[in-house]
Amino acid sequence: MIKLALAGNPNSGKTTLFNDLTGASQYVGNWPGVTVEKKEGRVKGDKDIHLVDLPGIYSLSPYTLEEVVSRNFLINEKPDAIINIVDATNLERNLYLTTQLVELGIPVIIALNMMDIIKKKGEIINTKKLEEQIGCKVVEISALKGEGTKNLITEAKKVSIEKKKIDIKHTFDVKVEGSLSEIKEIIKGKVKEDLLHWYSIKLYERDGKVLETITLSKEDKKSIETIIEKSENEFDDDSESIITNERYTYITSIIDSCFKKRNNTLMSTSDKIDKIVTNRILAIPIFAIVMYLVYYISISTVGTAGTDWVNDVLFGENGIPGVIGNFLASVGAAQWLQSLILDGIVGGVGAVLGFLPQMLVLFLCLAILEDCGYMARVAFIMDRIFRKFGLSGKSFIPMLIGTGCGVPGVMASRTIENERDRKITIMTTTFIPCSAKLPIIALIAGALFPGATWVGPSAYFLGIAAIVCSGIVLKKTRRFAGDPAPFVMELPAYHIPGAKSVLIHMWDRAKSFVKKAGTIIFLACALIWFLQSFGFENGSFGMVEMDNSLLKSIGSLIAPLFAPLGFGDWKAAVATVTGLIAKENVVGTFGILYGFAEVAEDGAEIWTNVAAAFTPLAAYAFLAFNLLSAPCFAAIGAMHREFGNGKWTLFAVIYQCLLAYCTGLSIYQIGMFVTGHGFTILTAVAFLVVIGFIYLLFKPYSEKYDLSGKEALLNA
C-alpha cells in the first residue's frame, strides 16, 4: 500500500487531478477554497495506491485552518510521497509552497499542471533544469485533458518506493543558515532527525504551534530567542519576513533560469474580457444583469415550462396522483392510508419535486458561470464593495457556494483567516437564497406575481443587501470591530466550461435536493399530514376535518406572531415553522394544506389556492421573512460546528430571525401605508424600525473599537 498526498495552491487543479486519477467526481470549482476537507481515494487501475486530496494552501504557516489541516497531515501521517501540484502558469506563487514541502523530509514529486495553457501560449519551461534546481522529479501534466497523469503515477510510485531523500538545493543566506545551525544544536535529539531542518526553520520563524509540539527547557527557549533576535538585528527585519524574502529570492533565480516567457505585449483574450467585466463602473451593472438573466431563465422562462409540466401533467389529475389513487382504491386500501399517501406524501413531496426542473436550470446556469471563471471575477468585484463596508471579499465565496446549499457554504468560511470576518460570514452566508429556498421564491412568484420577472432576482439582491447591511451594522459593534483581512485571489483564465464538470456540479446540487425530498421532507410531510388529519372532535380523538385538527390548534397559537407581517393565517405560520426543518418543507406544507387533493374536486390547483390566501404584499413579506430567518436545522448545525460554541450559534440565529422579522414587518406595514390602508400603530413601529436601522447604518464607526479589536476577540 502506497500513500500519496496531493498538495498545492488553491485552484491549481488538485481536485481535477484527483478525479482523473481516482475516477471520482469531486467538486471542481474555478475559484480557490473549494476543497476545505481532505478527500481520499484509490488510483484507478492501481488499487495499491491511496491518494489524499488536501485542501489548497499557499504556504505551510499556520494562518488558516486549511494550512493547519494540511501541515498536520503531512507531519503526523507521513505519506510515502507528496505530489506537489504546481500551476505552471503561476510558477512564482506556486513554488513558494514547494520550497516548504521539500523541507519536510518526505519524497516530493512535482506535477507541473496546466501545461496545455503554457503550450498554447508558446511559453517554454525547462523541466530538466527545474528538477536540478529544486532537487526532485518534475512531470509535466494537464489534469484537465488527462495528459501525463499516468506517467505521474509511475514516477510517484518509483519515488516513494526508493524513499529517496531530497537533497534540498536551496540554502538561505549564510547568516540565516548560521542561525539555523545554532538552533539545530539546541533541539537535536528532541525532534525527529529527518525533521531537524524543518523544525529549526519553524522555530526561527517563531511558529507558536510548532513550539507547542516540542518540549524545551526555559533556557533552551531563551537561547533560541537570543539567536533569533541577533539575526533580526542583522537583517533589520522580523525573522518570518527574512525567511519569506529568502524563499522568493531563490524562486526568482529558478524562474530566471528555467522559464521562457513569450515576449508578447498583446493582451490575452482573458485580460480583454476582464477589462470590461471588472471595470470599476461597469462591473456591478454587468453582474446585476447576469444574475437577473440567470434567475429570469430559471424561474420565469425555461424552468417554469418544466415545472408547469411536472405540476400539470405529472402531478395533474391524470398523472401520478390519479394513477396512485386508482391503484389504492382498486386494492381497497383504508381511507386513512389513501389520504396519507395522496394528500400527505404525493401532495407534499410532489409539491417540492415540482420545482426540480427550475432548480436544474438554475444550477446549470450557476455551474456554467463558475466553471468559465466569471464567478471568480464576481468575488473580486464584491471584494471592492464588501471592503468598503468592512467585510472581506473572501466572504463572497462561502455565499457563492451557499447558493447551492448553506451547509457547505458555511463550511467554506474556513478559508477566512481573520476570526471576526469568519464569524460574520458564518452568520450571514445563509441570507443568500439556497436551492431549498428557491421553491418558495418560485411559488410566490408564480402564484402571486404571474408574469413578473423581478421577484426571483429581487430575492437574490435582498440576500446580498442583508449581508452588506449586516456587515456594516455588526462591524460597528465591539464584537466585530476591526479591518477586514486582505484578500488575495488569483483570477483564473476564462475557459469554455467542460460539459462533464458542469453536469457533475449541477447533479451534485440536485442530488442532495432529491435525496432530501425522499428522506427528511418525506417524514415531515407525513407528520404534517398526521397533524392536519387528526384531532379532537366531540371529545374523542380521531380523523377530523382540517378545521378541528391538531395542526390548526398549534398553528393558531403561533399565527398571531406573524399577523403584523401580513400572514397571520395559521397555514402560513405552520409552513414557516416547518421550514426550520428544511426550507423545502414550506412548499411541501403548502402542498398539503392548500392541497393537491382538492385539485380533483374543485379544479383549483395549489397556486390558485395560495393566491387566494395572500395579498401580494403579504406574500412578499412572507417570502422575505422565510428567506432571511434562521436557516434549516442542518445549516444551523453547520453554523454551530464552525462557531464551535453554542452562545455564538444562538446569537446568530436570534440575529437572523430578528432581521427577518423587521424586514417582513417593514415591507408589509409600510407597503400597506403607501397603498392607502391608513396609518396604524404598527405602521409607526415599522417606520421606527426603518429609522433605527438607517441610524445604525450611518452611525460613525467608533474609533475606540478599532484599537481594541484584539481584546474584543479575546472577550468573545
Distances from the Cα of 479 to the Cαs of 200, 419, 506, 647, in angstroms?
Answer: 37, 11, 38, 13
Residue 117 interacting partner from Mg ion, ligand GDP, none (CB closer than 5 to 8 Å by kind):
ligand GDP
Q: How far is the CB of 145 from ligand GDP (least distance, A)?
A: 6
Question: CB-wise, 402 or 471, nearer to ligand GDP?
Answer: 402
Is residue 415 near ligand GDP by the rule CB under 6 A? no
Q: How far is the CB of 10 from ligand GDP (least distance, A)?
A: 5
Is residue 362 near Mg ion by the rule CB under 5 A? no
Is residue 144 near ligand GDP by the rule CB under 6 A? yes
Which window, 114-122, 276-284, 328-336, 560-568, contacts ligand GDP (CB under 6 A)?
114-122
Count of residues in contact with Mg ion, rule CB under 5 A: 3
Residue 497 interacting partner from ligand GDP, Mg ion, none (CB closer than 5 to 8 Å by kind):
none
Count of all residues that appear for the chain in the document:
716
Distances from the Cα of 10 to the Cαs of 36, 64, 81, 694, in angstroms?
Answer: 10, 13, 20, 39
Strands 46-53 and 39-43, bridge-based pairing:
antiparallel
Q: Which residue among 42, 50, 78, 116 contacts ligand GDP (CB under 6 A)?
A: 116
**Local structure of 339: helix, strand or coil:** helix
Provide DSSP, 116-150: HHHHHHT-EE-HHHHHHHHTS-EEE-BTTTTBSHH
How buried is 547 (Cβ within 10 angstroms: 0-12 exposed, 13-18 middle, 19+ buried)?
Answer: exposed
Q: Name residues whose C-beta falls within 8 Å of residue 195's C-beta, 6 or more positions apart in sequence.
A: 75, 104, 105
Distances from the Cα of 56 to the Cαs of 5, 15, 110, 278, in angstroms?
Answer: 12, 10, 15, 25
Is residue 200 near Mg ion by the rule CB under 5 A? no
- Which residue number is nearest to ligand GDP in terms of Cβ? 13
Is residue 113 near ligand GDP by the rule CB under 6 A? yes
Is residue 64 near ligand GDP by the rule CB under 6 A? no
Q: Which residue among 5, 7, 12, 195 contacts ligand GDP (CB under 6 A)?
A: 12
Determine the Cα–Cα distance for residues 82 and 5; give it in Å rounded to an integer: 5
Helix (H) or strand (E) holding 3: strand 2-8
C-alpha cell at 493: 483564465
Q: Which residue among 5, 13, 592, 597 contacts ligand GDP (CB under 6 A)?
A: 13
Which window, 26-34, 61-69, 512-520, 619-627, contacts Mg ion (CB under 5 A)?
26-34
Query: How many CB atoms lie under 10 A from the CB of residue 467?
Result: 25
Q: How far is the CB of 20 from ligand GDP (least distance, A)?
A: 9
Q: Which residue among 35, 179, 231, 300 contacts Mg ion (CB under 5 A)?
A: 35
Is residue 125 near ligand GDP by the rule CB under 6 A? no
Q: How far is the CB of 484 from ligand GDP (least distance, A)?
A: 23
Give alpha helix (H) positions in 239-319: 239-258, 269-277, 283-295, 302-309
Q: How far is the CB of 260 from ligand GDP (least distance, A)?
A: 19
Q: Which residue among 22, 30, 418, 663 contacts ligand GDP (CB under 6 A)?
A: 30
> Cα-flanking dihedrals φ and ψ of residue 111, to 5°?
-100, 105
Q: Name residues whose C-beta falls within 8 Å of residue 71's C-beta, 6 or more positions apart in sequence.
A: 60, 62
Beta strands in 593-638 (DSSP E): none
Q: How far is the CB of 89 from ligand GDP (least distance, A)?
A: 9
C-alpha cell at 320: 401520478
Site map 343..382 versus ligand GDP, x via CB under 6 A: ----------------------------x-----------
Burial 632-650 (b: 16+ CB within 10 A, else e): bebbbebbbebbeeeebbe
Which window, 8-16, 342-350, 366-374, 626-634, contacts Mg ion (CB under 5 A)?
8-16
Which window, 27-35, 245-253, 389-397, 552-560, contacts Mg ion (CB under 5 A)?
27-35
Angle at the Cα of 664 from the Cα atoms of 469 and 387, rounded to 5 degrees: 10
Q: Which residue among 5, 22, 35, 399 contacts ligand GDP (CB under 6 A)?
A: 35
Which window, 29-37, 101-109, 468-476, 480-488, contacts ligand GDP (CB under 6 A)?
29-37
Question: CB-wise, 174 or 499, nearer to ligand GDP?
Answer: 499
The residue assigned the cell 478527500 is 39
Determine the Cα–Cα distance for residues 461 and 624; give it in Å rounded to an integer: 11
Question: CB-wise, 7 or 191, nearer to ligand GDP?
Answer: 7
Residue 611 interacting partner from Mg ion, ligand GDP, none (CB closer than 5 to 8 Å by kind):
none
Is residue 408 near ligand GDP by the rule CB under 6 A? no
Which window, 57-65, 113-121, 255-263, 547-555, contacts ligand GDP (CB under 6 A)?
113-121
Is residue 34 near Mg ion by the rule CB under 5 A? yes
Is residue 10 near ligand GDP by the rule CB under 6 A? yes
Residue 503 interacting partner from ligand GDP, Mg ion, none (CB closer than 5 to 8 Å by kind):
none
Determine the Cα–Cα distance for residues 201 and 244; give it in Å rounded to an integer: 11
* Of 355, 573, 576, 528, residue with least CA distance to 445: 355
Q: Which residue among 28, 156, 210, 502 contacts ligand GDP (CB under 6 A)?
A: 28
Q: Which residue among 56, 321, 350, 631 contacts ligand GDP (CB under 6 A)?
A: 56
Q: How far is the CB of 499 from Mg ion (least distance, A)?
A: 19
Question: CB-wise, 41 or 178, nearer to ligand GDP?
Answer: 41
Give alpha helix (H) positions in 35-173: 65-77, 91-101, 115-121, 127-134, 149-162
Determine the Cα–Cα distance for residues 535 and 603; give it in Å rounded to an integer: 27
C-alpha cell at 429: 452566508
Is residue 15 near ligand GDP by the rule CB under 6 A? yes
Q: Which residue among 15, 160, 200, 666 contacts Mg ion (CB under 5 A)?
A: 15
> Cα-flanking dihedrals φ and ψ of residue 373, to 5°?
110, -5
Which window, 15-23, 362-370, 413-421, 525-533, contacts Mg ion (CB under 5 A)?
15-23
Is residue 433 near ligand GDP by the rule CB under 6 A? no
DSSP, res 594: I
> Cα-flanking dihedrals φ and ψ of residue 28, to 5°?
-110, 120
Say if residues 373 and 269 touch (Cβ distance below 8 Å): no
Residue 457 interacting partner from Mg ion, ligand GDP, none (CB closer than 5 to 8 Å by kind):
none
Determine the Cα–Cα distance for residues 516 and 519; give it in Å rounded to an integer: 5
Distances from the Cα of 542 to the Cαs of 334, 373, 546, 556, 695, in angstroms?
Answer: 14, 58, 12, 20, 54
Site map 445..484 versus ligand GDP, x via CB under 6 A: ----------------------------------------
Is residue 149 near ligand GDP by the rule CB under 6 A? no
Is residue 11 near ligand GDP by the rule CB under 6 A? yes
Query: How many CB atoms lie under 10 A from the CB of residue 266?
Result: 8
Question: CB-wise, 227 or 504, nearer to ligand GDP?
Answer: 504
Question: CB-wise, 22 or 35, nearer to ligand GDP?
Answer: 35
Which window, 109-117, 158-166, 319-327, 442-450, contacts ligand GDP (CB under 6 A)?
109-117
Q: Name residues whose C-beta falls within 8 Å of residue 206's C-beta, 6 or more positions apart in sequence.
A: 228, 239, 240
Is residue 117 near ligand GDP by the rule CB under 6 A? yes
* Of 51, 14, 56, residue with least CA distance to 160: 51
State the residues that interact with ligand GDP by CB under 6 A: 8, 10-16, 28-30, 34-35, 56, 113-114, 116-117, 142-144, 371, 492, 495
Q: Which residues bind Mg ion (CB under 5 A)?
A: 15, 34-35
